[in-house]
């Protein structure tokens, strides 16, 4: 059976997710990618390298996307402010490319 993980260290994001009625199995502030099984879904905000590991393990990644104005950046947002910023979960497939594909 697949699981839904919600990953965020921000209380406003957690409250926003709770208000969405998501059937979250694991509320975490940090993800150990080894916990992800094929078919699991990880939602929230992850660094790109962890999102790639989720996808490589057969998981699905849903990124918590926002449209923030400059004055809202760099501070904790409430669930209401997230709604005003157009908070949404968007699916992404992320893959790590080996060094032979580097542009540098």
Cβ(85)–Cβ(38) under 8 Å? no
pLDDT digits (tens, 9 = 90+) for 46-64: 999 999 999 999 999 999 9
pLDDT for the residue numbered 98: 77
- Angle (CA) 22-26-27 rounded to 5° is 80
Q: Which residues of the chain have pLDDT under 50?
A: none
Mean pLDDT of the chain: 93
Predicted TM-score (pTM) of the model is 0.90
């Amino acid at each position: 059976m697949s699981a839904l993980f919600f990953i965020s260290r921000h209380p406003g994001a957690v409250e926003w997710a709770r208000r969405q009625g998501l059937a979250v199995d694991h509320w975490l502030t940090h993800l150990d990618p080894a916990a992800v099984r094929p078919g699991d879904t990880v939602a929230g905000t992850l660094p790109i390298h962890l999102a790639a590991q989720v996808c490589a393990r057969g998981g699905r990644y849903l990124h918590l996307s926002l449209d923030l104005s400059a004055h809202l950046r760099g501070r904790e947002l409430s669930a209401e402010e997230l709604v005003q910023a157009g908070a949404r979960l968007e699916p992404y497939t992320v893959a790590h490319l080996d060094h032979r594909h580097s542009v540098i």
